[in-house]
Amino acid sequence: MEAAVALGIGLLMGAGTWLVLRPTTFSVLLGLTLMAYGVNLLVFVSGRIDRSVPPLTLKGTSGWADPLPQALVLTAIVISFGMTAFFVALALRALGETGTDRADGRRSPAAGEGEEGP
């Protein structure tokens, strides 16, 4: 199970990194979101979540789950949602002012015109 979770975190981070390096702002936004999901999973899994330990203290139980990783992930989710909303507003503003979706501000070649080079 640990290998599957580690592979999932690696895939999220790898796909996020690849998307962040793309030229359009929508791809960058998706990449940052995937990377935030990967980091949230990493923090949650590093808290050693155990199925045999209840999340609350109940009569007859010997312990309870550590609430710190859960609180950190919840805080990270809220922060990443705010970051995503800000980035969408920023991308829409840049699209309105520059007329292009590219992160570097260059315009895409028109249909029928080819770019030279690789």
Q: Residue 113: which pLDDT band, with cuts at 50, 70 and 90?
A: low
13 near 35, Cβ under 8 Å? Answer: yes
Please say if the pLDDT value at position 62 is more than 60: yes
Token output for 3? 């290998």
pLDDT of residue 104: 75
pLDDT (tens digit per residue) in 12-58? 999 999 999 998 889 999 999 999 999 999 988 887 766 777 667 77
**Rounded to 5 degrees, what are φ and ψ at 24?**
-95, 150
- Model-level pTM? 0.76
